[in-house]
Structure 1
Amino acid sequence: MSAVNAKVSGIAGRYATALFELASDAKQLDAVAADLATIKTSMEESADLARLIRSPLVSRDDQERAILAVLEMLGVSDLVRRFVGTVAQNRRLFALGGMIDAFGRLLSAERGEVVASVKSAKKLTQKQLDALSKELKTAIGSDVAVEAEIDESLIGGLVVKVGSRMIDSSIRTKLQNLKFAMKGVG
């Protein structure tokens, strides 16, 4: 599967495709992916940054100036700064997280990787993510890119989705199954 055939759609997909093509032409796919990962981590860890990105109340110019200052502090490449600046000018910063995810899917497709969506109750360590990726590679037979997400409602365990297959080992689901089983007793 090539990046062209990867499933990305909507605003996020269009912008991610444009960035992917620019990065590919400039032979900077890995550098752009690393910069985007840094931005995504910052968005997840900073409520102020998340608010800035999502708020329609902040003017276009203020939003652009602020996000470019953040990107400068993060040390991201000129290509990524220009891209995010364009996104801000077009008032599409609210979709930046989706753009980053779509870029990741395009990159995985380009590399021939399968993307696994993993939800956990707590943030997984890099060691846990590496072990999970290794296990999935063994089970699936190809390289696996893991997209980790936190869902505290799971209580514990994991929900792993690869393509149309899903493995749910969350405590929430186990408790729900136990509740259903107990209804039939007595």
Structure 2
Amino acid sequence: MADTSSPVSGLAERYATALFELAEDEKGLAELEADVGRFATMHDQSDDLQSFIRSPVYSAEEQMRALEGVLNHAEIKGIVANFLRVVAANRRLFAVPDILTAFRKLVAAHRGETSAEVTSAEPLSEAHAAALKDALKQSLGKDVTLDTKVDPSLIGGLIVKVGSRMIDSSLRTKLSSLKLAMKEVG
């Protein structure tokens, strides 16, 4: 699963496990997964939301008010909304991205799938995501769930992590390698 050397990853796994167990009890895993996906997409596409979640300067009350606005905008209700409120009340909003990633890994494992973290310079189109899923399925021999993130600093290409394996075909990495090779030549 996650790197257990980080205190955030252990925290994220505990929270994700709690959310997953709530989903199993309610038999609403698909609905929960959709709500988690909506919140994750909003997070990935909003620099303001990312900054807000990471910032320790906001009071618990301010975090709760802002979170309510985000949940209402995304039309997230029920278990996921209540879960995020508990996370905010416990002053753990900074761990939400890791919690959502850990939750998606648990869901994938439950379905017999493997999870791949994919970081791209721009959001993947549905066609590109489907093609990547097919390629990974052929390579790994099992269905793959994609956990996508956007990082414009990659310039182009992808970084794909499956378990302990990572494939970095980003333009940023290729340019860094070229820069290093040029220094060695000169």
Query: Normalization by structure 2: what TM-score?
Result: 0.84
**What is the deviation of 1:183?**
5.8
The one-letter code matched in structure 2 to 1:12 is A
1:114 and 2:117 matched: no
Residue type of the partner of 2:135? Answer: E
Moved more, 49-58 or 103-112: 49-58
User: Within 5 A, what are the aligned runs for 1:83-102?
Assistant: 83-102=83-102
Counterpart residue type for residue 168 of structure 2: D
Unaligned residue ranges in structure 2 (runs of 5+): 4-8
Deviation at 1:90, TM superposition (A): 0.8
Does structure 2 retain, via aligned residues, the 8 Å contact 1:32–1:77? no
Distance 1:173 1:49 in 2: 27
Partner of 1:137 in structure 2?
137
Distance 1:172 1:46, change over 3 A: closer
Question: Deviations 1:67-93 (Å, cap 9, x if unpaired)?
Answer: 123212322131111111111111111
Counterpart residue number, 2:174: 174
Structure 1 unaligned spans of 5+: 1-5
Q: Which fold has the larger relative contact order, with Cα–Cα distance below 8 Å and residues 6 or more apart in sequence?
A: 1
Computed over aligned residues only, the root mean square deviation of the Cα atoms, in angstroms, reads 2.3
- Greater Cα offset, 76-85 or 45-54: 45-54
- How much does 1:7 deviate? 4.8
Percent identity (aligned): 50
- Cα deviation digits, residues 26-60 of structure 1 (max 9, x gap): 01111111101111122223344334323322221
Question: Would the alpha carbon gap of residues 170 and 10 (structure 1) be closer, same or farther in structure 2, given more than 3 Å must change?
Answer: same
Larger radius of gyration, structure 1 or 2? Answer: 1
Alpha-carbon distance in 2 for matches of 1:181, 1:60: 49
TM-score (norm 1): 0.84
**Aligned residue-pair number:** 181
Partner of 1:3 in structure 2?
none
